[in-house]
Amino acid sequence: MAILEIKNLHAKIEDNEILKGLTLTVNPGEMHAIMGPNGSGKSTLAAVLAGREEFEVTEGEVLYNGRDLLDMAPDERAREGVFLAFQYPVELPGVSMMNFLKEAVNATREHRGEAPLGAMDFIKMARERAALVNLDPSLKQRSVNEGFSGGEKKRNEIFQMAMLEPRLGILDETDSGLDIDALRVVADGVNHMRSDDRAFVVITHYQRLLNYIVPDVVHVLVDGKIVKSGGKELALVLEEKGYDWIKEHADEPVTV
C-alpha cells in the first residue's frame, strides 16, 4: 500500500485557491522531490499535509497508509508518523529542548502502545541522533530554537525527525539559508534515515539539495498542480532551462 496518496487536492487560504487539483502517490522507501517556482503551492502542500487550520481543503482526498489524513487532528497525524521539518522553525522561549523532545517522543510511543522511554535510554538516543547532524550538544540544553542560528534551526529539525522516526518525512525548503557544509550535514542526516518502510517528500526551490539527497522521483509544481514528473535528471533540466521552459514543455518527455 502507498504511504501517501493525494488525489485531486484543492486547497485555499481565505479566498485564494492555491492547490488546484494536485495528485501524488508516494510508496514506501521512496524519496520524492517537489520543485517549483515561488508561489506555486509547495509550502501550502506541506502545511495542508501537516494540518494547518488556515488552509481549507475544498476538494479531493489524502490517504495516509490508507486512512483519511485530513480527518485527523495535527497532533494525531504526528503521532501516526507524519513529520514536517519546518521552513521557519518556531521558538518556544524557556521550554528546554530535551523536555520538549521527551514529551514528543513519549506521546508517540504512548500512541503506539509502547512504554515511555526511560531517562537513560532517552539521553543515549538523543546523544546518538544529535551526532548524526553534528548538533552541538549544548544546543540540546537550550530552549527550543531560541537563539539558534538559521543553520542550527534546520539541523535541529532533522535531529527531531531522527528522534521521532516518522514513516513520512516532509522537508519544507530545509535547504534554504544553508551554506554548503550545513547542507551536506542535513543531507547526510536524511540519507541515514532512508529505509524500505519510510518515505520522504522533499520540497525545494533549488536543484542543489538534490545533489546530496538523490530523489527517486522529481515533480514540478506550477500554479497548484504537478505539471511534470520524472527521474532525478528532471531536476538538472530544470536547473539548466528554468521553470518557464517547463511550463511550455510540460507535455514532452524528459531528455537530458
Partner 1 sequence: MSYVDETAFLQEVADSDYKYGFVTNFEAETAPKGLSEDTVRFISAKKEEPEWMLEWRLKAYRHWLTLQDKYPRWAHIEYPDIDFQDISYYSAPSKKPKYDSLDEVDPELLDTFERLGISLVEQKMLAGVAVDAVVDSVSVATTFKEELAKEGIIFCSFGEAVQNHPELVQKYMGSVVPYTDNFYASLNSAVFSDGSFCYIPKGVRCPMELSTYFRINAAGTGQFERTLIIADEGSYVSYLEGCTAPRRDENQLHAAVVEIIAHKAAEVKYSTIQNWYPGDREGKGGVFNFVTKRGICDGDHAKISWTQLETGSSITWKYPSVILKGDYSVGEFYSVAFTKGRQQADTGTKMIHLGKNTTSTIISKGISAGHSNNSYRGLVKINKSAANARNFSQCDSLLLGDKCGAHTFPYLEIKHPTAHVEHEATTSKVGEDQIFYCNQRGIGEEQAIKLIVNGFCKEILAVLPMEFAVEARKLLDIELEGSVG
Q: Least CB distance from residue 50 to partner 1, whole Å?
A: 5
Residue 20's DSSP bridge partners are 10
User: Closer CB to partner 1, residue 1 or residue 73?
Assistant: 73
Q: Least CB distance from residue 186 to partner 1, whole Å?
A: 18
User: Closer CB to partner 1, residue 127 or residue 241?
Assistant: 127
Q: Which of 165, 166, 168 is nearest to 49 (CA)?
A: 168
**CA pair distance 249, 234, nearest whole angstrom:** 12
User: Closer CB to partner 1, residue 61 or residue 91?
Assistant: 91
Residue 252, SS3?
A: coil
Q: Least CB distance from residue 220 to partner 1, whole Å?
A: 26
Query: C-alpha grid cell for residue 250?
Result: 510540460
Which positions lie near partner 1, rule CB under 8 A?
A: 50-53, 73-75, 77-79, 83-84, 86, 89-96, 98-104, 106-108, 111, 116, 119, 122, 143, 160, 164
User: Closer CB to partner 1, residue 140 or residue 208?
Assistant: 140
Other Cβ atoms within 10 Å of 16 Cβ, number: 8
Q: Least CB distance from residue 191 to partner 1, whole Å?
A: 22
**CA pair distance 79, 117, nearest whole angstrom:** 15
Other Cβ atoms within 10 Å of 195 Cβ, number: 11
User: Closer CB to partner 1, residue 107 or residue 236?
Assistant: 107
**Structural contact between residues 86 and 157, judged by C-beta atoms closer than 8 angstroms:** yes
Q: Which of 158, 227, 2, 45 is nearest to 218 (CA)?
A: 227
Q: Least CB distance from residue 22 to partner 1, whole Å?
A: 21
